[in-house]
Amino acid sequence: MASPRDNHLLATLSAAELTNIGQYLEPVEMELGDVVYESGRELSHVYFPTTAIVSLLYVLESGASAEIAIVGREGVVGVSIFMGGATTPNRAVVQSAGGAYRMPARVIQDEFRRGGTMQHLMLRYTQSLLTQMAQTAVCNRHHSVDQQLCRWLLFSIDRLDVPEIATTQELISNMLGVRREGVTEAAGKLQKAGAISYRRGHIKVLDRAALESLSCECYQVVRRETERLLPFVAPH
């Protein structure tokens, strides 16, 4: 069973700080596809994933979508609560089933206002989120589906204990904002190259280094920046 400290942000708090807020932390289990929050809906809680991975998606009027950022045990879902906006025009969807701890909006707001470690952490994490979004924008403009799939796989396994992802190519295509067939083709190439193996709904990363070399620079840039901003928090 996961403990709050399995979330790397919570793990950074001192024992005293964690005890203080512990009573407000509620463990939740999240299934693949669960919508943690809907675009424009006011958030009641922030979520600190432990084993779950959550994708921040933007869904266009046409129904097309694209992943904006990915949040796992290194982060928190719902920054708009302490940033002051209460809502965002994005949807948050569970991309990999697992656990999280959630905390009522008012509690995190109070903690944040106190201005201590928690505020510091939340702000730095939010900056890493800015970096991730910026890089996603550039990547969407300039890099191929093949490269982006590598980046996406790396981001995902960095947030899991085993290099194995339970998801379909269809779902991945929604995240990347490309056709399902595009993912099939790209995944086929990676499998042929021995970098991954997969079967219906399961992808296993066999050769992490190969993925890194086939990926665009975006993966490393975000990873390094996250490590810089949150040295005790970065995934892996």
Partner DNA sequence: CGGAGTATGTGCGGAAGCGTACACAGGGAT
Partner DNA sequence: ATCCCTGTGTACGCTTCCGCACATACTCCG
Q: What is the largest CA-CA distance in the chain?
A: 54
**What is the number of H-type helices and E-type strands within the chain?**
10, 10
Q: Is 166 in the site for a copy of itself (CB under 8 A)?
A: no
Member of 124, 151, 159, 223 binding a copy of itself (CB under 8 A): 124
Q: Is the dihedral of CA 135, 227, 43, 49 positive or negative?
A: positive
Among residues 18, 35, 221, 234, the one that binds a copy of itself under rule CB under 8 A: 221
106 near a copy of itself (CB under 8 A): no
89/188 with CB nearer a copy of itself: 89
**28 strand-pairing partners:** 100
Token pair for residue 235? 């995934």
Q: What is the DSSP string of 8-66?
A: HHHHHS-HHHHHHHHTT-EEEEE-TT-EEE-TTPPPSEEEEESS-EEEEEEE-TTS-EE
Q: Show the site string, 113-152: x = touches DNA by CB under 7 A, - = not.
A: -------------------------------xxx------
Structural contact between residues 139 and 218, judged by C-beta atoms closer than 8 angstroms: yes
Q: Is 61 in the site for a copy of itself (CB under 8 A)?
A: yes
Whichever of 97 and 134 has its CB closer to a copy of itself, that residue is 134
Bridge partner list, 53: 96
Sole binder of DNA in the list 106, 170, 193, 228 (CB under 7 A): 170
Residue 113 interacts, among a copy of itself, DNA, none and using kind-specific CB cut-offs from 5 to 8 Å, with a copy of itself
Binding site for a copy of itself (CB under 8 A): 56, 58, 60-62, 64, 66, 68-69, 79-80, 82-85, 88-90, 113, 115, 120, 123-124, 126-131, 133-138, 140-142, 177, 217, 221, 225, 228-229
